[in-house]
Amino acid sequence: MKKNTFKWGAMLMGGMLLLNACSSDFLEVKPKGTDLESNYYRNQQEAFNGLVAIYDVVGWQGGGYVTKVGTLNSASDDHYAGGGGPSDVTDYQVVSNFTLTPAVGPQDDLWRKGFSGIFRANTLLQKLPSVPMDESLKNRYAAEARFLRAYFYFDLVRFFKNVPLFTTPISTSEMYDVLQATPTEIYAQIEKDLTESVAVLPATIPVGTEGGRATQAAAHALLGKVYLQQEKFTQAAQELALVNGTPGGTSTYGNKLVANFADLWKTSSKFNSESIFEISYTNTSAGDWGCVACTEGNVLNIMVGPRGYRALKSNAPDYVSGWSFLVVTADLFNAIRNDPRSTATVANLDSLEKNGIATYEKGYMNTGYFLGKLAARQSDRPTGAGAPELNYPQNMYEIRLADTYLLEAEALVRGGGDLVRAAALINAVRDRAYKDDKHRVTATLDNIIRERRLELAGEGHRFFDLVRWGRAATVLQAKGFVTGKHEILPIPLLELENTKLEQSKEWGGTR
């Protein structure tokens, strides 16, 4: 699988051009070809297209295969890279065993994604004041652009720590003289963007026509996560409480835990009551092998399925034969096997094969356990144009209510807050899982850590959680994790050539 490279010039072009439309459901506009930024933003429709271009980056699948969730799962103790062999999607392999280098790893795609989104947001924010259109709608577009800029920067600062700070577009003559900001400066800008956007964003949206767009709940939730990452526990708890409301009830913004955990992973469950910020995928983009990265289908669906899957009995699950990436570790399976969420989370091919129900091909680092949450199903198999493998329509949760419940509980416990509320938040998640109140626990950090692993397995949270808790060194040591190095990714080697960017000290640099 060919690796894409990326330079500042290409990144700048990503901000100056409106490319293909976003995969979010609300985005019906599909610009054809490219439109030069200098000739664009003449009216409301073109401003909307510019907003489309920013949202497009949220669901990007770099190089066709490297994604944020795929990278973070590979790096965690819950998954191995898997696939067909030790060189299958090398970027996942090297982050899974922590042999990545500044030249080889997923950092190129993740850097590209983040800054492409930021440059597009900056371009729209610069152009919007001059666009003749309704002022309230203009303000909403600006608020969404700021939210998305904050979203991209939060990922970048956690992945790389030392990144440039852009709040306006830059010219080609300036891009090679760019310097990095401090993490403190990046976080301050993130907080500013979210604080300014939250009052303007809509409280709720009609999901049938606008599903996937930012809301006040999404901004509060993201700001709560940003505060928690910086150990600003009181502020984090306050922001997350605005999203969560009464544990187990319906929040001010209409969010509520879905009654059945397994329903979260059904394709028909898009934009449900638990969803706060969601990436939308579709089976209508006709994505094909000529440009895998261009598809708007969810590529992870085919990647995580069991390789060579074959049903032997009528009661076999309707999995599609996939590529066996992100196999579930025995450690995660042993942690979740007696939990009610196990069957929806893990596809246990080991058990199916032993019982003569199904068989499969043993891929690289096979454990017999696969990520059932995302494994493609025959019932969802695309029938339209394009390659079926590239057009599965399952959405991905960036933020959902169970996540924010547990984050608020963490902020309360670590910040010396209301432990009664913290326990109620944890146990609302457990009550949903167990369908009773007999499995409740007290509000301790260890209980929160255990609950986040079981509830959010395979959703890309575990690695950042371990780093935030200071437990990555212990938990990931067996995979090759080195303390003081692997908490972040290296600045991509190509970004250091002929620029003033400096490699992070963790990776042998001076920054």
Domains and CATH numbers, the chain: 8-248+488-505 (1.25.40.390), 289-376+384-393 (no CATH)
Model confidence at 31, pLDDT cuts 50, 70, 90, reads very low
Q: What is the mean pLDDT of residues 32-49?
A: 76
Give whole-number Cα distances, 126 to 105, 198, 260, in Å: 34, 20, 44
Give whole-number Cα distances, 411 to 25, 64, 342, 427, 444, in Å: 33, 36, 27, 16, 11
pLDDT at 47 over 70: yes
User: Given this model, what pLDDT does residue 87 score?
Assistant: 96
pLDDT at 261 over 90: yes
Model confidence at 172, pLDDT cuts 50, 70, 90, reads confident
Model confidence at 384, pLDDT cuts 50, 70, 90, reads confident
Beta partners for residue 36, in sequence order: 17
User: Given this model, what pLDDT does residue 184 score?
Assistant: 98
On whether the pTM is more than 0.85, the answer is: yes
Tokens representing 63 are 């190089």
Model confidence at 419, pLDDT cuts 50, 70, 90, reads very high
Tokens representing 404 are 């924010």
List the one residue out of 182, 169, 117, 181 whose CA is nearest residue 145.
117
User: Given this model, what pLDDT does residue 310 score?
Assistant: 98
Give whole-number Cα distances, 193 to 77, 184, 222, in Å: 33, 14, 11
Residues 295 and 279 sit within 8 Å (Cβ to Cβ): no
pLDDT in tens, 304-339: 999 999 999 999 999 999 999 999 999 999 999 999
User: Given this model, what pLDDT does residue 173 score?
Assistant: 81
Q: How far is CA 481 from the centre of its chain?
A: 22
pLDDT at 10 over 50: no
Residues 118 and 164 sit within 8 Å (Cβ to Cβ): no
User: Given this model, what pLDDT does residue 39 score?
Assistant: 77
Model confidence at 22, pLDDT cuts 50, 70, 90, reads very low
H or E element, residue 369? strand 369-371
User: Given this model, what pLDDT does residue 69 score?
Assistant: 98
* C-alpha–C-alpha distance, residues 274 and 253, integer Å: 11
pLDDT at 249 over 60: yes
User: Given this model, what pLDDT does residue 175 score?
Assistant: 84
Model confidence at 38, pLDDT cuts 50, 70, 90, reads low
Taking 3-state DSSP, the helix, strand and coil percentages for the chain, each rounded to the nearest 5, stand at: 50, 5, 45
Q: What is the mean pLDDT of residues 189-206?
A: 97
User: Given this model, what pLDDT does residue 379 score?
Assistant: 94
User: Given this model, what pLDDT does residue 293 score?
Assistant: 86
